[in-house]
Chain A
């Protein structure tokens, strides 16, 4: 069966420090991968999504970046965190069965990041 691992669950980082959040998926190959951020009481904002290794689409022009070094690994990074980067970060994956991509997404348990 497929599983998604996202860590850490909670993170407190000082302003200006770097960030690296990792997400890995097991039991599947060539999934679509996603990073979202959720502010308190709000919806999910799409940050990045990837349809394959080296193919990453960015939705927000902020100080965040994403990389997909392996097929089932998706990393969210920042060189210098801002206070506004605080939030709940969620990784997700979905299988691709046909060109119409009519499949559901599966979410990790999220990382609650507080920048102080």
Chain B
């Protein structure tokens, strides 16, 4: 079974806008990770936030983590057409990596 839910399931924005997606998980974690998948192929790691961290930045990505609510959010600023992809959060419970259902993001020029 999958770890949790992602919200929204789909997101359509224009270039230059920000994209925000949320993730909830069910178990205790040592970290939470975000991955990106293009066109149903391989996955690429974007960012990892540890359970004792609340916010982390990497380039145009900003991720937050609230362990009390078992939730995380990913913000992509100044989106580009190349950001079109599916984005997944992954709850890491000491080696067990469980994916959320994903958010499909479409960025139009």
By secondary structure, the B interface counts as strand
- CB distance A46 to B30 under 8 Å? no
Chain A residue with minimal CB distance to B93? A101
The reply to whether the CB of A106 lies closer than 8 angstroms to some CB of chain B is yes
Given contacts A43-B2, A44-B88, contact A105 B42 (CB under 8 A): no
Across the interface, A46 reaches (CB within 8 A) one of B33, B43, B97, namely: B97
> What's the Cα separation between A94 and B92 when bound, in Å?
12
Interface string of B12-42 (1 = CB under 8 A from A): 0000000000000000001101000000111
With known contacts A44-B88, A100-B30, A102-B31, A90–B42 Cβ distance under 8 A: yes
Asked if A97 is at the interface (CB within 8 A of a chain B CB), the reply is no
Q: Which among A34, A44, A46 has the highest number of chain B CB atoms within 10 Å? A: A44
A contact residues, total (Cβ < 8 Å): 29
Nearest to B89 among chain A residues (CB) is A43
By a CB distance below 8 angstroms, the chain A residues around B94 are 100-101
| Chain B residues proximal to chain A, CB less than 8 Å | 1-2, 6, 30-31, 33, 40-45, 48, 50, 88, 90, 92, 94-102
Task: List 4 other contacts, CB 8 Å, given A43-B2, A49-B96, A104-B45.
Answer: A36-B99, A43-B101, A45-B99, A101-B95
